[in-house]
């Protein structure tokens, strides 16, 4: 299954539509047990996610693949950050480690060299970086820094990175997706959308009409659209509770969208606004 479990809610309050705060330990255990029984094998986390690392180390079976992210803009070396993370995660090694703030790789290769050394040491199987802006990917690739994994935002509205998917696959790069629901924006009614993001309302209304034609709601359309992309290896979803995971699994198992609907969404013009990037919200 392409679905991976995001853990930002396990350690901090996150998302513009999140009203319940951090996921409780009881719900975390329910989510993990559902993952075991539904062929979900990947957990995504980061050193910046508060107590998430320690909760993974406490509750997650070692058969789950862990992807964590470290900070490039830090006086603490990648080696020491990873050692601290492995201690909290209760692991000697993990599946993958990414650079979280990859814009620094455009200025300085040293953090990448440090990360490569950790791969050679056997502490991580794969390395890569997490990106926000598509121009960052081009510049980093032009420097010859080719990852094993790249994590990028991608959804029905923000499709900026899509033009690079085939290129990345030709480089044997694993593609991980985040922001499937645009950090909760797709769950909000138009009158609840923050004023600075109101320019999205027209596009959201158009997508809702497309969803209705498929007898879906917008969140179902958003989930199926990303799942249908043949280049996507994993998409990361965070859940406030286990019922949300169950709903996502039911959609993936029982519903679908047509090739024509996918074509229509892909033909929608890109939105030219700096707030397309959620880091500016």
CB 105, CB 111: distance < 8 Å: yes
Q: Is the pLDDT of residue 70 over 50?
A: yes
CATH code where residue 67 lies? 3.20.20.100
The predicted structure's pLDDT at residue 19: 55
pLDDT tens digits for range 153-166: 999 999 999 999 99
Tell me which of 122-136, 222-236, 261-275 is least confident.
261-275
Which backbone phi and psi does 45 adopt, to 5 degrees?
A: -150, -170
Q: Burial code of 152-163, b = ≥16 C-beta within 10 A, e = fewer?
A: bbbbbbbbbbbe
CB 104, CB 131: distance < 8 Å: no
Does the global pTM surpass 0.85? yes
Task: State both tokens at 57.
Answer: 């180390």
Domain that holds residue 40: 3-280
Q: Is the pLDDT of residue 248 over 60?
A: yes
Half-sphere exposure of 169 (CA within 13 A, CB side): 11
* DSSP track, 162-200: HHHHHHHHHTT-EEEEE-TTGGGGGGS-GGGS-GGGGGG
Domain count across the chain? 1
């Amino acid at each position: 299954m392409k679905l991976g479990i995001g853990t930002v809610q396990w350690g901090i309050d996150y998302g513009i539509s999140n009203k319940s705060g951090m996921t409780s330990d009881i719900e975390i255990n329910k989510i993990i047990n559902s993952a075991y029984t539904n062929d979900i094998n990947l957990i995504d986390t980061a050193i910046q996610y508060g107590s998430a690392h320690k909760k993974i180390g406490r509750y997650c079976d070692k058969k789950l693949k862990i992807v964590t992210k470290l900070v490039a803009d830090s006086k603490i070396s990648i080696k020491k950050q990873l050692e601290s993370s492995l201690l909290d995660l209760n692991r000697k090694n993990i599946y993958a480690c990414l650079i979280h703030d990859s814009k620094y790789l455009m200025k300085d290769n040293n953090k990448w060299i440090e990360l490569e050394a950790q791969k050679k040491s056997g502490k991580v199987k794969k390395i890569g970086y997490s990106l926000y802006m598509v121009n960052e990917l081009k510049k980093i690739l032009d420097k010859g820094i080719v990852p094993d994994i790249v994590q990028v935002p991608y959804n029905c509205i923000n499709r900026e990175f899509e033009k690079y998917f085939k290129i990345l696959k030709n480089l044997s790069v694993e593609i991980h997706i985040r922001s499937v629901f645009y950090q909760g924006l797709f769950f909000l009614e138009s009158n609840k959308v923050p004023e600075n993001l109101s320019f999205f309302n027209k596009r959201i209304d158009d997508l809702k009409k497309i969803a209705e034609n498929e007898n879906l709601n917008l969140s179902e359309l958003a989930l199926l659209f990303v799942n249908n992309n043949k280049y996507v290896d994993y998409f990361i979803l965070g859940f406030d509770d286990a019922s949300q995971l169950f709903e996502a699994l039911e959609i993936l198992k029982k519903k679908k969208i047509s090739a024509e609907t996918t074509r229509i969404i892909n033909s929608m013009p890109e939105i030219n606004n700096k707030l397309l990037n959620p880091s500016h919200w």
